[in-house]
Amino acid sequence: IGSSYSFMLHLLKVRGAKTVIGVDPGDEGNIGSKKYGIPLVQDFFPTDKLVGTFDVIFSHAVMEHIENPTWIVSEMAKRLNPGGVIFLAVPECEKKLRVGDVSILSHQHVNYFTGKTLGGVLEQAGLRNVVVRSSSRRSILYAWGTLSSDVAQASAVVSDAPLLQAFAQAYEKNLAGMQAIVDEAESRGQTVG
């Protein structure tokens, strides 16, 4: 889901995946689809154009752009074969949230995941055996879970309210510090750009 240029699907196919298919609304998907011979459903997920069920559904750098990631993962789960796996990768935001890093606020992102909240999304969507790992090389979280035939009640919404409160406080402190630098420069007749 969000296959973009289809390069990851190409790598999976080269390494033995029997059947791969991409879903992406953008035109870039058509270019990669043709280059690598990967079938593409050019649409937003979920879509009726995607036919069948799958053993693995993979999505990289998508959930941070989705307003309701739990709903999307639930829709993905409907497309899994029994015992199937959903694998997600998203930017890891906990460190930047802890220090109130203003740069984390991206106009493109509507979700800022921590290990706790990403795992919670998978569990809320009904997946079990959820695992969340942090990349040792980049600020990326990887998470996966399996579709269970167990119809256990989905867990409650996972919140990281203390972290968000710490972010707000650190953000305000950082913003005040930046404003003081600007005010000082302007008081000396300097321009700020």
Q: Which amino acid is at 173?
A: K
**If you average pLDDT over every residue of the chain, what do you get?**
89
Predicted local distance difference test score (pLDDT) of residue 134: 93
Tokens of 98: 């802890």
Query: pLDDT tens per residue, the chain (193 residues)?
Result: 999 999 999 999 999 999 999 999 998 888 989 999 999 999 999 999 999 999 999 999 999 999 999 999 999 999 999 999 999 999 998 888 878 887 777 678 888 899 999 999 999 999 999 999 999 888 899 999 998 766 444 555 566 777 778 788 888 888 888 889 999 999 999 988 8
DSSP string, 11-28: HHHHTT-S---EE-SSTH
Residue (of 151, 118, 153, 152) closest to 133 by Cα position: 118
- Read off the pLDDT of residues 34-79 as tens digits, 9 standing for 90 and up: 999 999 999 999 999 999 999 999 999 999 999 999 999 999 999 9
β-bridge mates for residue 89, sequence order: 60, 142
Q: What is the pTM of this model?
A: 0.80
**Which element (helix H / strand E) includes 134?**
strand 127-134
